[in-house]
Amino acid sequence: MMRLALQAAGEAASRGEVPVGAVVARGEQVLAVASNERETTGDPTAHAELLAIREAANALGGWRLTGCTLYSTLEPCPMCAGAAWAARISRLVYATPDPKAGYAGTLHNILSDRRLNHTAPVQSGLLAQEAANLLKDFFRRRRLKET
């Protein structure tokens, strides 16, 4: 599943989007695959995770994604981690941490916050180097274009 998310992230980079991809799956069944679309749509909420959650809810015909896993190439930001919590995602797996906005273990972990009415296990580091390399290469190329 993470390889599928990495493929989506690569496709995002080719469109000039920050290379983040996400997959929502129930067991081995892929419900949704998405990548960032903020630049394309001009929508600040068009993060890969949020788009995948929306698509998966649509595929299942309801907002509760209990029994589903969200895979993301980058640690979700506060908005996306909050959306995973609101959708009752049963598990989150992400590749590489986000030191500036990560809300699934770096700055906070909303999915393990026992003060909330839903928690879910979080696993990090799956194919982390591949995801980090996509991001580093993207931003390196972007900086070169700006100079």
CA angle 113, 84, 77 (to 5 degrees): 80
Judge whether 87 and 120 are in contact, CB under 8 Å: no
Q: Which residue of the set 17, 37, 39, 49 is catalytic? A: 49
Active site residue 49: yes
Report the relative pairing of strands 122-124 and 91-96 from DSSP bridges. parallel
**Residues 6 or more apart in contact with residue 51 via CB below 8 angstroms:** 22, 32, 34, 35, 37
Distances (CA, A) of 119 to 10, 83, 86, 108: 30, 12, 10, 13
CA angle 110, 113, 119 (to 5 degrees): 85
Residues serving a catalytic function are: 49
